[in-house]
Amino acid sequence: MSVSGARIKILAAGLLLGTLLAAGCARLTPDKVNAQWSLMDSSAVTEESTSLDLGVMRIACGSGITGEITGTHVAYSAEDIAIGLVVEELDGEAQTCQSNETVPYTIKLDEPVGNRSLTDASCTEAEQEQGTTPACEHDGIRWAP
């Protein structure tokens, strides 16, 4: 393929993406953790669990709306499984700051929980630059063996 042929394909792909974005059919979503979670039933978690039922809530003001979960971040270590969730961005309108709805979400883990704590990744120091929330007490630990 010639250089000009490659440029045409790149331009066509950009034009298609731009058209989809303008039409609302596609939306670029940030990959930054912007929601907190809790276990719907912590007594259902065992060391063998590979699936967790979560209640997810947008951290920022959202006029009571959490929105759709668009991404997950899961980091496994010997002591901990840190789970971070990303919810869709809301339109550019100003949002009011009452509590946002809790959205149910089931996450599938690549490994059993084992003898590790489950923590909310939104409670890490890097994610808490805006200040600590009550949901981040106990370092965001949501379950411990």
pLDDT digits over 56-90, tens only?
999 888 888 898 999 999 999 999 999 999 998 88
Same domain, 97 and 126: yes
Q: In this predicted structure, what is the pLDDT of residue 137?
A: 79
If asked whether residues 52 and 24 sit together in one domain, one would say: no
pLDDT number for residue 128: 53
Spell out, as residue ranges, where the chain has pLDDT lower than 70: 1-30, 125-133
Question: Same domain, yes or no, for 74 and 103?
Answer: yes
| 39 and 18 housed in the same domain | no
Q: Which residues of 72-100 are buried (b: 16+ CB within 10 A; e: fewer)?
A: beeeeeeeebbbbbbbbeeeeeebeeeeb
* Six-digit token string for 6: 């490659």
Q: Which domain holds residue 14?
A: 1-28
Which pLDDT does position 125 carry in this prediction?
57
